[in-house]
Amino acid sequence: MNPNYLSVNLYVRIMTKKSLKRDILTLLQTKVVAKQNVFLKTNELFNLLKTVLQALVLEYNSELTVDDSRIKLEFEDKGQFVCQLKIGGDVLVFQMNTNAFEFDRAHELWKSEYVIKSPINSYCGVINIYNFLHDSFRYNRLNDLGYLVARVFINLEGHYFVEGKRQRGTGVNNFGSLLLDEESLRKIAETAILYSLEFDLLVTPYDDVKIIPLVDMAGEILNSKLPTGKRLGFIYNSDDVKH
């Protein structure tokens, strides 16, 4: 075999290894660090959200003019990444995802000058806000449905945007100009609360419940087998998600 060929082949292999190592080190020191910072910032702001919610509970309960324990707000910390807010017959579940996400290339975010100048700013953590019925928790109805009423995207610098019901003025077009703070978290939470209180439970269409197996009628099984949701059997329109 030609010794020159061996030398060239060895050179290519060495350079390939160097290139792979360089690429890996570059990603570790840029992309991976950015994702870790996204988690830290999202977790920091999720903890601030818990503080905001607890303050809302105290404020609203002190201003209720009706002395009725059924309508008092209740906050419950369920752990590092989940908390709940009971409001009348509803429960809002605030859940922080522990991962950092990227957006597909068709997303409006990529048109932002803020992201164009520094693509690393596109990585975001997510806080989801779900609306459940309080009875779903009270009676352990595990098949009941919750509805996503908002989700907050947060990057490593604390800039954010919201997709959600009536969350106007905080859409992706404002990404890069808004910093998530106590005031904005309060507005997001109060908007979700108001929407959920106005989002009524509809009667399930007759045809959806006209037939039921006998086994589902047996005692407590009835409560767990028959799902309940505010729009069960109806289309839950995805309106008001980008503003």
241 belongs to a structural domain = no
Mean pLDDT of 178-197: 95
Please tell me which residue, 91 or 23, carries the higher pLDDT value.
91
Give a yes or no: residue 243 inside a domain: no
Domain membership of residue 28 as a residue range: 3-225
Question: With pLDDT > 70 as the criterion, what percentage of the chain qualifies?
Answer: 77
Give the pLDDT confidence score for residue 54 in this predicted structure.
98
CA 3 vs CA 6, 7, 9: distances in Å: 5, 6, 10
233 — pLDDT class (breaks 50, 70, 90): very low
The tally of domains found in the chain comes to 1
- Average pLDDT over the chain, rounded to an integer: 85
Q: What is the DSSP string of 12-71?
A: HHHHHHHHHHHHHHHHIIIIIHHHHHHHHHHHHHHHHHHHHHHHHHHHHHHH-SS--GGG
Question: Would you say residue 217 has pLDDT above 70?
Answer: no
For residue 5, what are the CA distances in angstroms to 2, 95, 207?
5, 59, 76
236 pLDDT band, cuts 50/70/90, is very low
pLDDT of 234 reads: 43
Q: Answer whether residue 132 is part of any domain.
A: yes
Residue 25 covered by a domain? yes
Mean pLDDT for 166-190 is: 92
Q: Return the H-helix or E-strand segment holding 97.
A: none
Over range 141-163, report the average pLDDT: 92
Quote the pLDDT of residue 17: 76
Is position 105 within any domain?
A: yes
Which of the listed ranges 105-119, 132-146, 161-175 does the model predict with the highest average pLDDT?
A: 105-119
User: What is the rounded distance in angstroms from the CA atom of residue 86 to the CA atom of residue 88?
Assistant: 6
Is 209 part of any domain?
Answer: yes
- Residue-level pLDDT at 84: 98
Is the residue at 189 inside a domain?
yes
What span, in angstroms and rounded, lies between the C-alpha atoms of 5 and 156?
49
Report the side by side order of strands in the sheet with 74-77.
74-77, 82-87, 90-96, 125-133, 147-154, 160-164
In a domain, 197, yes or no: yes
Give residue 167's pLDDT: 86
- What confidence tens digit (pLDDT) does each residue in 35-70 have? 999 999 999 999 999 999 999 999 999 999 988 989
